[in-house]
Amino acid sequence: MKLLKQVIEDQGVVLSDGVLKVDAFLNHGIDPELMSEIGREFAARFEEAGITKILTIESSGIAPSLMTALELKCPLVFARKQKSLTMQDNLYSADVYSFTKEKYQTISVSKDKLTKTDNVLIIDDFLANGQAALGLASIVQDAGASIAGVGIVIEKSFQPGRTLLTGAGLRVESLARIASLSENKVTFVKNEEA
Ligand code: G4P
Ligand code: NA
Ligand code: NA
């Protein structure tokens, strides 16, 4: 997605060989016009897929997911990172390992938010190690629903996430694919569609 790549080049900050800071428009500040374009792009890529629901994870997955849900005219659910003790029996949960935080985190969705007849599009802001997306996928499977695919705003293609997800049979659509963050600059994957 041409506009997204442009914004990453203009406003993204390479913090290290592995980490891109995008607080200007995605992870802290949010650019509404960019999010709207992102929603249109995901919707175009999945418009034939028969999506009935979007599933993401708080907090940074919510903005791009909301704009996509608006385009696809379907509801949005976000997994919570803090489990409500009073709702334990009514939750689908998954333990997600964070390589950056070096710990497991339990993510949860109320059982009444997903049904067997749902065809779910999973969306997240970053794809790094793929653990968040796999956790969301396992929640959809627990609900007996179908997974139409995974939509990612920024994929770090030099990390194992995409391979893990496609290896699990999931369709992955990333709007910007980063081949490298070394030498303090963003290098996108070549030959991808704009
Ligand atoms: P994984 O799900 O792909 O395995 O991700 P990982 O554990 O490595 O990442 C943990 C958090 O760090 C996630 O956000 C993820 O989106 C974010 N992240 C991973 N790589 C980058 C990066 O290069 N730049 C930025 N800005 N973020 C990155 P989170 O903790 O769930 O936070 P949030 O959704 O509340 O923002
Ligand atoms: Na994040
Ligand atoms: Na995230």
Task: State pLDDT tens for residues 53-99.
Answer: 999 999 999 999 999 999 999 999 999 998 666 666 799 999 999 98
- Domain contains 69: yes
- What's the rounded Cα separation, in Å, for the pair 115 and 118? 5
Instruction: Indicate whether 128 belongs to any domain.
Output: yes
Largest separation between any pair of C-alpha atoms in the chain:
50
Asked if residue 194 is part of any domain, the answer here is: no
**pLDDT tens figures, 158-167:** 999 999 999 9
Is the residue at 167 inside a domain? yes
Please report the atom of ligand 1 found closest to the CA of residue 19: 23
Q: How many Cβ atoms from other residues are within 10 Å of residue 163's Cβ?
A: 12
**For 24-49, what is the mean pLDDT?**
98
Is 143:116 a contact under the CB 8 Å cutoff? Answer: yes
130 Cα nearest atom in ligand 1: 3
Report yes or no for ipTM above 0.85: yes
Tell me, yes or no, whether 9 lies in a domain.
yes
Number of domains in the chain: 1
Residue 93 lies in a domain: yes
Do 154 and 185 contact (CB within 8 A), yes or no? no
Nearest residue to 69 via CA among 135, 120, 108, 22:
120
In a domain, 193, yes or no: no
Q: Are 93 and 83 in contact (CB under 8 A)?
A: yes
Give residue ranges with CB within 6 A of ligand 1. 19-22, 27, 59-61, 98-100, 125-132, 156, 161
pLDDT digits (tens, 9 = 90+) for 127-138: 999 999 999 999
Q: What is the CATH number of the domain that holds 37?
A: 3.40.50.2020
- What is the four-CA torsion angle of 98, 101, 105, 109, rounded to 10 degrees? -70
User: What pTM did the predictor assign?
Assistant: 0.95
Range of the domain at 47: 2-188
